[in-house]
């Protein structure tokens, strides 16, 4: 499989992200900072920055807003050949306001009627794309976008499986997009094609109605039920709005894996989970579950300190974290 052109293909929506500066409420905004983000794109960016060859599959409107997205994807060295430039639908947006204790940060989505929500299975030549890839990643956000997006996701998962890709799936339940019964009904069948499930205790309970005695038990139960090669459960501790802890555990082939706990000062926590996914995939492909956990956690921890959805880091910084980086200024 060494000769495949891509290390990782991801599929999903990207939005323009608009946020007021300096902890202003959205209602106070005179200016909005423009960034680009979306779960699976964030994974591709973080993975590409670690050195993986990545492509991202999506649909974007053929207008300046869609071009902002495509430009920012190219900027990260990600292949954009499989993005559908569409005359249908609009560019999805989301607004984020950053909080401080006791006010939590908040996201307001304006993503309805987006081009990617109108994507159909026939729009993407999955076999052609995925036969060139080592791994495929998608999250539970993509099938939640629309019925046709769900069908396209299922087609992608099947094709990935058939083409021998390592398939990872981030459960990522979004209550604004669908109800839990709907999420269950749509995603349960998809799990047949998934090798690695990335989830939290809360989402597992909501989507699959499954609750273990503890983190480890939840992971084990999930693996048992769906036959995953690996399950990871990410664990965030909310010390305050601006200070969290981060770690995760994994279960694979009868064994529990764990890693150190990171203290993080939060500049921007959006995309931390996606950075975990990227780091986990990188480590898993290059050494297995324990390495995946370590790279995933280090990258996720770093992400909290970086503005925007994207994790502007690199392999050296990740490995320095794993080895126990210093907090002093580096001159």
Instruction: Please answer whether residues 109 and 176 qualify as being in contact, where contact means their C-beta atoms are separated by less than 8 angstroms.
Output: yes
144 near its own copies, rule: CB under 8 A: no
Q: Degrees (nearest 5) of the Cα angle 233, 239, 242?
A: 105
**Which is nearer to its own copies, 28 or 214 (by Cβ)?**
28
Active site residue 192: no
264 near its own copies, rule: CB under 8 A: yes
Look at residues 158, 167, 159 and name the one whose alpha carbon lies nearest to residue 130: 159
One residue of 5, 71, 125, 225 binding its own copies per CB under 8 A: 71
84 near its own copies, rule: CB under 8 A: no
Look at residues 157, 164, 149 and name the one whose alpha carbon lies nearest to residue 12: 149
Which stretch in 30-38, 117-125, 249-257, 285-293 sits in contact with its own copies by CB under 8 A? 30-38
CB of 150 to its own copies, least distance (A): 20
CB of 57 to its own copies, least distance (A): 17
Cα separation, 120 vs 5, in Å, equals: 25
CB of 17 to its own copies, least distance (A): 11
CB of 221 to its own copies, least distance (A): 24
C-alpha torsion angle, residues 57, 63, 68, 70 (rounded to 10): 20
CB of 310 to its own copies, least distance (A): 9
Cα separation, 171 vs 209, in Å, equals: 13
**Which is nearer to its own copies, 285 or 293 (by Cβ)?**
293
Q: Which residues contact 150 (CB under 8 A, 6 or more apart)?
A: 142, 143, 144, 186
Q: Which two three-digit tokens encode residue 69?
A: 């997205």
One residue of 18, 36, 47, 293 binding its own copies per CB under 8 A: 18
One residue of 51, 101, 181, 287 binding its own copies per CB under 8 A: 101
> Of all helices (H) and strands (E), which one includes residue 141?
helix 141-144
Q: Which residues contact 80 (CB under 8 A, 6 or more apart)?
A: 55, 56, 70, 73, 74
CB of 244 to its own copies, least distance (A): 9
Cα separation, 181 vs 115, in Å, equals: 25
One residue of 68, 85, 210, 261 binding its own copies per CB under 8 A: 68
Residue 6 gets which letter from DSSP?
E
85 near its own copies, rule: CB under 8 A: no
One residue of 91, 146, 153, 275 binding its own copies per CB under 8 A: 91
How many of the chain's residues bind its own copies (CB under 8 A)? 81
Tell me the chain's radius of gyration from C-alpha atoms: 19
Residue 234's φ and ψ, nearest 5 degrees, are -90, 145
**Which of 62, 274, 309, 314 is an active site residue?**
274
266 near its own copies, rule: CB under 8 A: yes
5 near its own copies, rule: CB under 8 A: no
Look at residues 135, 137, 94 and name the one whose alpha carbon lies nearest to residue 114: 94
22 near its own copies, rule: CB under 8 A: yes
CB of 163 to its own copies, least distance (A): 26
**Which is nearer to its own copies, 63 or 184 (by Cβ)?**
63
One residue of 62, 85, 110, 123 binding its own copies per CB under 8 A: 110
235 near its own copies, rule: CB under 8 A: no
Site for its own copies, residues 282 to 311, rule: CB under 8 A: 301-302, 304-308
Cα separation, 124 vs 119, in Å, equals: 9
Q: Which residues are catalytic?
A: 274
């Amino acid at each position: 499989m060494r000769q495949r052109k891509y290390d990782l293909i991801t599929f999903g929506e990207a939005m323009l992200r608009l946020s007021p500066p300096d902890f202003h409420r959205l209602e106070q905004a005179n200016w909005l900072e423009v960034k680009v983000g979306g779960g699976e794109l964030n994974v591709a960016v973080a993975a590409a920055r670690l050195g993986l060859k990545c492509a991202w599959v999506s649909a974007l409107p053929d207008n300046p807003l869609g071009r902002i997205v495509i430009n920012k994807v190219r900027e990260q060295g990600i292949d954009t050949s499989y993005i559908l430039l569409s005359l249908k639908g609009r560019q999805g947006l989301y607004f984020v306001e950053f909080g401080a204790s006791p006010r939590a940060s908040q996201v307001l989505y304006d993503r309805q009627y987006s081009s990617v929500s109108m994507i159909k299975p026939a729009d993407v030549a999955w076999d052609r794309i995925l036969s060139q890839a080592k791994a495929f990643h998608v999250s539970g956000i993509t099938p939640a976008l629309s019925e046709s997006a769900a069908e396209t996701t299922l087609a992608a998962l099947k094709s990935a499986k058939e083409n021998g890709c390592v398939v990872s799936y981030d459960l990522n339940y979004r209550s604004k997009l669908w109800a839990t019964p709907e999420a269950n009904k749509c995603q349960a069948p998809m799990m047949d094609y998934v090798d690695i499930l990335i989830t939290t205790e809360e989402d597992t309970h909501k989507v699959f109605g499954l609750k273990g005695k503890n983190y480890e038990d939840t992971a084990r139960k999930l693996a048992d039920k769906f036959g995953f090669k690996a399950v990871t459960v990410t664990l965030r501790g909310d010390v305050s709005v601006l200070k969290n802890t981060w770690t995760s555990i994994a279960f694979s082939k009868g064994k529990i894996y764990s890693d150190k706990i990171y203290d993080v000062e939060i500049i921007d926590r959006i995309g931390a989970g996606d950075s975990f996914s990227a780091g986990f995939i990188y480590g898993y492909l290059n050494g297995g579950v324990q390495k995946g956990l370590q790279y995933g956690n280090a990258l996720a921890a770093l992400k909290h300190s970086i503005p925007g959805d994207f994790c502007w880091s690199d392999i050296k910084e990740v490995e320095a974290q794993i080895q126990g980086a210093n907090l002093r200024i580096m001159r």
